Structure 1
């Protein structure tokens, strides 16, 4: 067997959202912070992201995480998040997958019934409390970066939809959020094609009409992801959302063929962004749980633990909790004669 590359991974998912974790085979990644390491990887080693996420080794719904040494001495580990079109600064489902892999494989020691650790993400430090029993991580709860709303009740013009009312908020990524019912969209998983079509049209319009940048790191811009939200339908939940991740560029001339994929989980950063909006609207106080359901009916539980500020914006400090499961391990290889070293996308699945 001839190999020009072999990457070792642990396959996991968090409440349904797949989050592959790279545990070996990466080149040295320079940088004085995990954010700088992410920038270096994006500029110099993006072929790894493409190889891991595109066919034949990946699929549109897959996310991937690269374990890297932390730069901050307070952190136990660092990781870089890779998705189909971007390197998000933070992700709840990927954090849960990474913590589950770190502890259940023994990369970091597990202490029962509670393991506490700190992760360095491109967005900053994240404190984690993992509940553990019989060698299994039964819940991952973490203190996220501060979340805040930038625009509330803004009106944008969207191709094929007309005037749409949206919020734009940061929860670790910049989201554009809109209520699904006025758009005539149901949030069932079976309606994924329509959710993606509408979400991608809104994201494209918001990126043009409401561009935003993080006040503490202007290189983080958006909005790059969409959250269509609705009222709760299951007992014990407080809302539900359908989050669309882009898998390719949006073509306004062909909006019905938008490139995107439905997040299988309730999305952790989206839950935090939604909590920031609700708090700004006076609808969610400090200390109250917010149980958010995703398209599969799985849930993440968020809570606002304190108020703060980020630049000019009133902000919240949210926590988020959910569970992850390991479902495989793999060695992904590349033959030097392979005509698709960076993988490929095909229009039947990828838009």
Structure 2
């Protein structure tokens, strides 16, 4: 059989969020791409067939991501990777970084050193430091030191069809996030509120996109909100702050993990409000109860913005080894989407 594509993938999830890792069958971007962001643009504009093949049905589903391991552009990094999501190429993703680091170590692509392995990953959002706790050949936990996170605005009034004025925080955590307290919209982060959280979250996000366009001060090509985070107030439990969130990922589903970049964005908001201090322990929980252990390791500046440097720890597990193929006679080379799973809510209430 002659195949048009033969892609080797290691299945993986981090705290419930699927982040499969492509380990073979895809060539690097051209040498003219000098940064990981330029590689991102190349795959987005020239090789998006890979993302569509892997993530759309019948091979994929709405609640999964794919990570492409590539040679790094930064000489300080051992590997580079690009993050493919259902509707975008994310400059950075925490759960996907944890998946990628785990796969690199447990498959031997990066030598595992016990009890701790350290290395850097090159991403389109900048260099990300990895510290992996390792034991008996297993990567038991991954800590990543993210690039700087910062707030664009707090309590921004956004007019949302069917809801009126909603107060929105906008922050960068490796992706652009709009954050809203669920209670302000009469909702609670709970499975029983799931369909409404998705529908209203998507609606607010599209309203933000039409009314407020943040631009990253160090890369003006990164602009506009692409993710939405529902929050609930934090509470002090013993020696740490604990809070619940859920991120609504287009086209309308929950991030199963606490969302690494969303956590970084929320930590920047909390710090800006005086709710989270440097070195303070913070536990962020997902809608399914999984958690990331977090802290602000330092503060910095990004352009004119006060920023934080977040450190987040989570776990990942390899779930499969698979070869994804494309038969030249397959009628769905780009896959397809059906609205029972690929939900896109209407603008009306």
| Same topology, TM > 0.5 | yes
1:308 corresponds to 2:310: no
SS across alignment from 1:73:
coil
For each residue in 1:15-35, what CA deviation from the matched residue of structure 2 results, as whole angstroms up to 9, or x when unmatched? 000001000010331211111
1:46 to 48, 51, 54: 48
Aligned to 1:241: 245
Partners of 1:72 and 1:117 in 2: how far apart? 12
Aligned to 1:79: 81
Matches within 5 A, 1:1-351: 1-30=1-30, 31-231=33-233, 238-247=242-251, 260-351=252-343
For each residue in 1:32-88, what CA deviation from the matched residue of structure 2 results, as whole angstroms up to 9, or x when unmatched? 111111111111100000001000110001011000000111100000000011101
Aligned positions, number: 339
Partners of 1:150 and 1:231 in 2: how far apart? 20
Instruction: Answer with 189-198 or 74-83: which moved more.
Output: 189-198
SS across alignment from 2:153:
strand
Contact map agreement 1:29 1:41 (CA 8 A) in 2 = yes
TM-score normalised by L of structure 2: 0.95
Aligned to 1:250: none
TM superposition outliers: structure 1 runs of 4+ over 4 Å: 232-237
1:237 Cα shift?
5.6
Partners of 2:192 and 2:7 in 1: how far apart? 34
For each residue in 1:116-173, what CA deviation from the matched residue of structure 2 results, as whole angstroms up to 9, or x when unmatched? 0000001110111000111111110011010000011111111111110110000000
Contact map agreement 1:5 1:335 (CA 8 A) in 2 = yes
Partners of 2:184 and 2:28 in 1: how far apart? 49
Aligned to 1:251: none
SS across alignment from 1:97:
helix
Instruction: Answer with 223-232 or 128-137: which moved more.
Output: 223-232
Contact map agreement 1:237 1:293 (CA 8 A) in 2 = no
Relative to 1, partners in 2 of residues 1:190 and 1:27: Cα closer, same or farther, differing over 3 Å?
Answer: farther
Aligned to 1:256: none
Contact map agreement 2:28 2:70 (CA 8 A) in 1 = no
SS across alignment from 1:166:
strand
Contact map agreement 1:238 1:292 (CA 8 A) in 2 = yes
Aligned to 2:347: none
Instruction: Answer with 133-142 or 227-236: which moved more.
Output: 227-236
SS across alignment from 2:62:
coil
1:5 Cα shift?
0.8
Partners of 1:63 and 1:20 in 2: how far apart? 6
Cα root mean square deviation, aligned? 1.3
Unaligned runs of 5+ in 2: 344-349
Partners of 1:194 and 1:172 in 2: how far apart? 26
Contact map agreement 1:60 1:349 (CA 8 A) in 2 = yes
